[in-house]
A and B are shown apart, each in its own frame.
Chain A
Amino acid sequence: MLKYILKRFLWMILTIWVIVTLTFFLMHAIPGDPLDMGDTGSSDAASANLAAYYNLDQPLGVQYVTYLKNVATFDFGPSMTSRSRDVNDMIESGFPASLQLGIASLVFSVISGVFLGVFAALRHNKMIDYITMIIAVIGISIPNFIQSMLFINYIAVNVDFFPIARWGTWQHVILPALALASGPMAIIARLTRSNMLEVLTQDYIRTAKAKGLTSFQIVVKHALRNALLPVVTIMGALTAAVLTGSFVIERIFSIPGIGQYFVNSISNRDYPMIMATTVIYSTILVVMMFIVDILYGLIDPRIKLHSKED
């Protein structure tokens, strides 16, 4: 087990290095100058001084080595759009908000998704099944920014309990978390339903029924455990996506999270911020996949945690 973990860890480092390297060369390959002052006018000397300040006047190879060092020490230096602030500060001050929102929506989407999925499977081809799946289809097909606007324009404006936007109390979390959760919830509900349907027809479930177990016991103890495996599989990517914030939701609800940086850093060509968001996202993703692999073993003892060579 320990050997397995160590091996996986080394692979994780290698994966992140590949991602960081690819991102570095890709971002330098796209046209556009991060220090362009655009339509306000400037002088060539001022642009050259700025380039020197950010070491952009050095050869790409040298910049690459500096970046690797920064990445290794998790110190990304000053942002190119907000020079007075270090990228680290910006991430640290924005991450808690994104994390709170992400966890709230993750918890909501998993609980309600699994619940709806199981419920639909148990009432297969009945009214409840159809209603649940209609909810799921709506959740997937209405983009969350539309939901957000509907929430603001029709719920928050009329119900004092819900703030329109901004951040600070637990009421502020509810509407954005719901908007963010509806997509993942729908995916989880559909996955759970189809797996449950499959599992429920298998022999061991019939055996359980024959033994006289209650349907609650059958579902929770026997069927769900197997049905959840595919759900767990997608949880890795889903968690990484949800925890790192959502540009659109955070913008519409004016939440001071880090979602904005994933998009703005690229349109501003803010190299240090692009690297930071890449490292954060890929680290969380890789770590989550690792956790998912460990979870497989816990949920399904048939899956052994060791590599083929062992």
Chain B
Amino acid sequence: MKKSKNLKWLLGTGLMATAMIATGCSGEEEASGDEEGNGEDTATEESGGEGNVLIYNSGNPTSLDPPIGNDEPSYAVLNNVMEGLTRLAKDEATPEPAMAEDWDVSDDGLTYTFYIREDANWSNGEPVTAEDFEFAFKRLANPETASPAAHHAYWIAGAEAFNEGEGSEDDVQVTAIDEKTLEVTLENPVDFFTSIVAMPQLFPVHKDTVESDDSWANNADTFVGNGPFVVSEWAADEYLLIEKNEDYWDADTVQLDGVEYVMIEDANTAYQLYGNDEIHMTGIPSDMAGELVGGPETIQYPRSGIEFQRFNVEMEPFQNRNIRAAFAKAINSQEIVDYITQENQPVMTGYVFDDFQHPNGSTYREEAGDLHEFDLEEAQELLELGMEEEGYDELPEVNLTYSTGDVNHNVAQAVQEMLQQNLGVEIGLENQEFAVFLDAQRELELQYSRSSFLGGYNDPMNYLDNFTTGNPMNRTGWSNEEYDQLVSDSLAETDPEARFDLMIEAEKVFMDDYVIVPLYYYNTTFVKKDNVEDVVRHPVGFVEFKWASME
């Protein structure tokens, strides 16, 4: 039996070679394919043998070029092989010096001067310069770069106009004063700009490399980074190995010899590999959440992001505030978390993510207070009131639309049942394929729809901005002058506490109008081996191995 399989493998490989020649693959590519195979063997042996390479399951990075990647798997790697002007600290999500050892802010809060550390170097040995940052920021905003993340450059004066094809590159207010001094002038005096420059979208790039090689970010040999680790091997769709960067300015802090990102898409397979000690850390299969959450090897990280539902205020019956509020108050999010998602997600009591830091040291939610709760009696009263206002004897037909998926389906069914039991309202359910669904939601074709938002940067503005008039994330038809005014006022406010007061005010206006049904805040759940410590993951950041260790 064994022999025949051996034979088959040989036969298979032989036939494959023939077929590859026939399909036009050159001999060179065949050879590189072989190298990849060998590479994997060594990587697996090393990690099994030495034990200080953490094996982490992650998706396939779509690009290691900072303005292009723009997704979780890409930035999970980039965050560890590159570094921005600042980096979010180990214990809290506050920016601390990284490539910049210090910075000054002008009195009007508009001009930032960053001093780049002398010992900041690229992995090719050249110094990280202010010019690299200037080049990278302008590249992010450049319409020809066509970065999906370009809006993160809009804080810089002139960047938005440049990206819209109206301004010019020279008008983007970022300048290298000398080799190690960078000056950035902002559009608004936002004090969270030091958090913005910690984001992978605003990582520097090595100017000469990017200018001379279009495909520099596509493989391990040509990639130039400046982070705690360097990329040493990359076989697309299989694994990516990073190793400790001995020349990193803070190399003493780095404990691990390296991290091997493996790309196992199927959560169940990954969990089996984890059980067999072939992976040290991975996400969990969603159907095992109830069993694993709270277990000894499970670790949960809060994630800036929300699960909610949008009302279309241009469609009946949701033009009426009280009917919207009745729906929202009749849905018990705690039950959804307890019985369906089972990942201990915190129930939303407002719209903005709870944990943003308030300038006075407490959190955003502590200052803003709870703005929403499940309230059966009030919901029934509100429905009655709303129907009276609109002159309805019977509520117009309501359909809840969601994108196809097990969890979405189960949540929608639970909501359908809660509305039936609590309000006596029968709603229909409809599911659509994700891309079709997004299109329809954007075009305001859906009456009542499942929604989610994944936060990007470290400030409540990340949320509040979404529901300003005409924002691409709005998708409800809702427009409120007072709200728009409060949001733009808060952007112009230089005093940190006053700025938060304005944002809190804006959130109250928004929540009081019940444009959404708040459900729950996200978190991410992993299983990790006992000896894996200090893998950091901030609510707005990406996974950090700088401080991680494995005994």
A296 at the interface (CB under 8 A from B): no
Residues of chain A from 260 to 284 with CB closer than 8 A to chain B in the complex: 260, 267-269
Kindly list chain B residues whose C-beta atoms are within 8 Å of the C-beta of A95: 20, 23, 25
Closest partner residue, chain B, to A145 (CB atom): B266
Chain A residue, CB-CB nearest to B37: A168
- B551 at the A interface (CB under 8 A): no
Pairwise interchain contact B63-A83, C-beta atoms closer than 8 A: yes
Task: Determine if B265 and A45 form an interchain contact, defined as CB atoms under 8 angstroms apart.
Answer: no
Instruction: Assess the A49–B143 pair: CB atoms within 8 A.
Output: yes
Whole-angstrom CA separation of A42 from B160 in the bound complex: 12
Which among B217, B263, B454 is the interface contact of A84 at CB below 8 angstroms?
B217
232-282 of chain B: CB within 8 A of chain A: 235-238, 262-266, 268-270, 272-273, 275-276, 278
Complex Cα distance A113/B120, Å? 64
The reply to whether A164 and B278 form a contact with Cβ atoms under 8 Å apart is yes
CA distance A41 to B199 in the complex (A): 15
Partner of A165, one of B60, B62, B217, B273: B273
Considering the chains assembled together, what is the distance between the CA atoms of A52 and B144 in angstroms? Answer: 9
A307 touches B (CB below 8 Å): no
Q: Establish whether residues B151 and A46, one from each chain, have CB atoms under 8 Å apart when the complex forms.
A: yes
A170 and B436 contact, CB distance less than 8 A: no
- The residue on B at minimum CB distance from A257 is B237
Contact assessment for B148 and A44 in the assembled complex, using a CB-CB cutoff below 8 Å:
no
Nearest chain-B residue to A161 (Cβ)? B2
CB neighbours (8 Å) of A167 from chain B are: 40, 238
Query: Contact between B236 and A74 (Cβ–Cβ < 8 Å)?
Result: no
Q: Which residues of A contact B143 (CB under 8 A)?
A: 45, 49, 52
B13 adjacent to A100 (CB under 8 Å): yes
B360 within 8 A of A: no
Question: Given contacts A32-B435, A100-B16, is CB(A43)–CB(B151) below 8 Å?
Answer: yes
Which residues of chain A are near B452, meaning CB under 8 Å? 39
Is B498 part of the binding interface, using a Cβ–Cβ cutoff of 8 Å? Answer: no
> Which residues in window 278-293 of A have CB below 8 A to B?
none
Is B385 an interface position by the 8 A CB rule?
Answer: no
Neighbour of A83 across the interface among B19, B68, B273, CB < 8 A: B68
| Chain A residues, Cβ within 8 Å of B442 | 36
- Kindly state whether residue A241 has any CB partner on chain B within 8 Å: no
Contact check, B472 vs A42: say whether CB atoms are below 8 A apart: yes
Is B218's beta carbon under 8 Å from chain A? yes
The yes or no answer to B473 lying at the interface (CB within 8 A) is yes
Decide if A53 touches B146 in the complex (CB within 8 Å). yes
B25 touches A92 (CB 8 A): yes
* A103 interface residue (CB < 8 Å to B): yes
Report yes or no: A37 in contact with B9, Cβ–Cβ below 8 A.
no
Cβ of A56 to closest chain B Cβ, rounded Å: 11
Q: Is the CB of B33 within 8 A of A96?
A: yes
Contact B12–A31 (Cβ < 8 Å):
no
Given contacts A168-B37, A267-B435, contact A46 B15 (CB under 8 A): no
Q: Considering the complex, give the chain A residue whose CB is closest to the CB of B20.
A: A96
Partner of A52, one of B146, B217, B268: B146
Contact segment of A121-129, A190-198, A219-227, A248-256: A248-256
Q: How far is the CB of A230 from chain B (nearest CB, A)?
A: 24
Among A42, A166, A174, which residue has its beta carbon within 8 angstroms of that of B5?
Answer: A174
Q: Would you give the shortest CB distance from A65 to chain B, in whole angstroms?
A: 22
Known: A46-B147, A166-B264, A256-B238. A36 touches B269 (CB 8 A): no
Among candidates A32, A82, A96, A251, residue contacting B438 with C-beta atoms closer than 8 Å: A32
The answer to whether A267 and B272 touch across the interface, beta carbons within 8 angstroms, is no
Q: B274's closest neighbor in chain A, by CB?
A: A164
A21 within 8 A of B: no
- Interface residue from B217, B435, B456 paired with A36 (Cβ < 8 Å): B435
Contact A108:B8 (CB < 8 A) given known A31-B435, A50-B146, A93-B236: yes
Q: Which residues of B contact A33 (CB under 8 A)?
A: 435, 438-439
Give A61 Cβ to nearest chain B Cβ, in Å.
Answer: 23
> Considering the chains assembled together, what is the distance between the CA atoms of A90 and B235 in angstroms?
11
Known interface pairs A43-B150, A93-B236; A152-B272 also in contact (CB < 8 Å)? yes
In the complex the two chains form, is B438's CB within 8 Å of A165's CB?
no
Whether B264 and A170, one on each chain, are in contact in the complex, defined by CB atoms closer than 8 angstroms, is no
Pair A84/B68 contact, Cβ less than 8 Å: yes
Which residues from A are CB-within-8-Å of B160?
43, 45
Q: A120 to B440: give the CA distance in the assembly, Å.
A: 55
Query: Range of interface residues on chain B?
Result: 35 or more
Write out the residue numbers on chain B whose beta carbons fall within 8 Å of the beta carbon of A170: 5-6, 9
**Set B9, B269, B435: member contacting A104, Cβ < 8 A:** B9
- List B261-305 residues whose CB lies under 8 Å from chain A: 262-266, 268-270, 272-273, 275-276, 278, 305
Distance in Å: Cβ of B449 to nearest Cβ of chain A: 12
- In angstroms, Cα B236 to Cα A81, docked, is 14
Q: Does B163 contact A (CB under 8 A)?
A: yes
| B16 and A164 contacting across the interface, CB-CB below 8 Å | no
B134-158: contact bitstring with A at CB < 8 Å (1 yes, 0 no)? Answer: 0000000001111111110010000
- Residues on the B chain within 8 Å of A169, using CB: 41
Query: In the assembled complex, which residues on chain B have CB atoms less than 8 Å from the CB atom of A34?
Result: 435
Q: Which residues of A contact B456 (CB under 8 A)?
A: 40-41
Q: Residue B434 at the A interface, CB < 8 A? A: yes
B63–A84 CB distance below 8 A? yes
Does B65 sit within 8 A of A, measured CB to CB? Answer: yes
> Taking each of A43, A50, A94, A252, which has the highest tally of chain B beta carbons within 10 Å of its own beta carbon?
A43
Q: What's the minimum C-beta distance from A218 to chain B, rounded to whole angstroms?
A: 26
Option from B6, B20, B263 in Cβ contact (under 8 Å) with A99: B20
| Cβ-defined partner of A173 (8 Å) among B12, B150, B454 | B12
Q: Tell me if B107 counts as interface (CB < 8 A to partner A).
A: no
Bound complex: CA A47 to CA B69 (Å): 15
| Minimum CB–CB distance for B37 against chain A, Å | 6
How far, in angstroms, from A170 to B10 measured CA to CA in the complex?
9
Task: Decide if B8 touches A254 in the complex (CB within 8 Å).
Answer: no
| Residue B378 CB within 8 A of the other chain | no
**Are B439 and A32 neighbours in the complex by a CB distance under 8 Å?**
yes
| A212 at the binding interface (Cβ < 8 Å) | no
B164 within 8 A of A: yes
Cβ B436 vs Cβ A31 within 8 A: yes
B394 contacts the other chain (CB 8 A): no
- A165, B435: Cβ atoms under 8 Å? no
Tell me, in angstroms, the Cα distance from A174 to B6 when the chains sit together.
10
**A260 vs B238: C-alpha distance in the bound complex, in angstroms?**
13
Question: CB within 8 Å of B: which residues of A?
Answer: 30-47, 49-50, 52-53, 74, 81-85, 89-90, 92-96, 99-100, 103-104, 107-108, 149, 152-153, 156-157, 164-170, 173-174, 243, 251-254, 256, 260, 267-269
Q: A85-B236, A152-B272 are in contact. List 13 more A-B contacts (CB 8 A).
A: A33-B435, A41-B466, A45-B143, A47-B148, A49-B144, A50-B148, A53-B146, A84-B65, A84-B217, A99-B19, A103-B15, A174-B5, A267-B433
List 6 A-B pairs, minimum CB-CB distance, nearest first.
Answer: A32-B435, A84-B63, A256-B237, A53-B146, A43-B151, A170-B9
11 contacts between A and B (CB under 8 A): A31-B436, A31-B440, A36-B439, A45-B163, A45-B165, A46-B151, A52-B143, A84-B68, A85-B218, A167-B238, A251-B266
